[in-house]
Amino acid sequence: MAPLLYQIVDAAYELFAPYTVGATLDVCKVCCVSDAEEQELLRTPLRTVSAAVLDAGYFYSARSGSQREHWEMKHFLPRLLELVTQFDFPMHSTEITFSRLELHRPTEWLPTELALLQTFAEVFFAECLGQYPVPVGTSLTEMVIMFGLGHFDLTPLLAAWAAARSQSSALHTKDLLLREVHFGRAGQHRLHNPFSEPHINAAVSAWLSEAAVPQQLAQQLEAYILHDSTLDDETLTELSRAYEVLQVSLS
């Protein structure tokens, strides 16, 4: 974990410390969470809860939408952030990791909480952007969807992607253009990933439709097509194909 992420996670533990839980949780006991799973989660010190225990005892449960459920979610949130930094996602699919947050409902959040979470998203995304591939078989696009489903502000994340000038960012861009986005008419682009929702597709489409972004992405690709001797022929071919897709679809 990058030092700044350590600091953000520690700040999250402090900020969300008032959200304590009792002897039971507001979880579905009918078919989702057993008493044993709930109690294992509650007995385990928060900083040592595993992804599996957190999932089984809380996140696997159907949602009630209650204030108590939202309160309890905030209790577990610092540990969730910490697990994410380790690419240890307590969900069956990475994309839904933050789907309970609903940050688009600001009345449910304090300004300090919203600010910390957005900072986490931007710093963690930058970490992902700087490595290829992203660990545990995830893609950078899955990270975009993960934050999008939590209703984080995607604008600075996507701007960082376009502005990056590294081999890893070029390879992520290659994957996006060749495998992960469907180019529609009049800028109606969307992601292929079935977890993507209309507001995420709209954000990605608006980003790709910005006047400067195709040029920025082209510059990323050009730098490694022309000047990188460390890449194999297959990867260079794919970078060239991505460059062609970019010129045809976003010109």
122-173 pLDDT per residue, tens: 999 999 999 999 998 889 999 999 999 999 999 999 999 999 999 999 999 9
In a domain, 65, yes or no: yes
SS3 235: helix
In a domain, 98, yes or no: no
| Same domain assignment for residues 145 and 204 | yes
**Domain count along the chain:** 2
How much is the average pLDDT of 65-72? Answer: 93
| Same domain assignment for residues 45 and 156 | no
**Is the pLDDT confidence value at 181 over 80?**
yes
In a domain, 68, yes or no: yes
In a domain, 60, yes or no: yes
In a domain, 100, yes or no: no
Whole-number pLDDT of residue 249: 85
| Same domain assignment for residues 17 and 132 | no
In a domain, 135, yes or no: yes
| Same domain assignment for residues 121 and 48 | no
| Same domain assignment for residues 11 and 60 | yes
Whole-number pLDDT of residue 229: 83
In a domain, 152, yes or no: yes
SS3 232: coil
Which one is predicted more confidently, 124 or 250?
124
Domain that holds residue 111: 107-251
| Same domain assignment for residues 241 and 136 | yes
| Same domain assignment for residues 224 and 250 | yes
Instruction: Specify the pairing of strand 190-191 against strand 181-182.
Output: antiparallel
How much is the average pLDDT of 105-123? Answer: 96
In a domain, 101, yes or no: no
Backbone angles phi, psi at 42, to 5 degrees: -70, -30
Give the residue from 92, 121, 150 where a domain finishes: 92
| Same domain assignment for residues 205 and 164 | yes
Whole-number pLDDT of residue 33: 95
Give the residue from 68, 92, 116 where a domain finishes: 92
Confidence grade of residue 187 (pLDDT, cut at 50, 70, 90): confident
Cβ-count burial 129-156 (b if 16+ within 10 Å, e if not)? beebebeeebbbbbbbbbbbbbbbbbee
| Same domain assignment for residues 63 and 178 | no
Extract the tokens encoding 24: 């039971």
| Same domain assignment for residues 125 and 241 | yes
| Same domain assignment for residues 205 and 126 | yes
**Residue the block writes with tokens 């960012």:** 169
The answer, yes or no, to whether the previous bond of 133 is cis (omega within 30 of 0) is: yes
What is the overall mean pLDDT for the chain? 95
Is-contact 246 217, C-beta < 8 A?
A: yes
| Same domain assignment for residues 50 and 140 | no
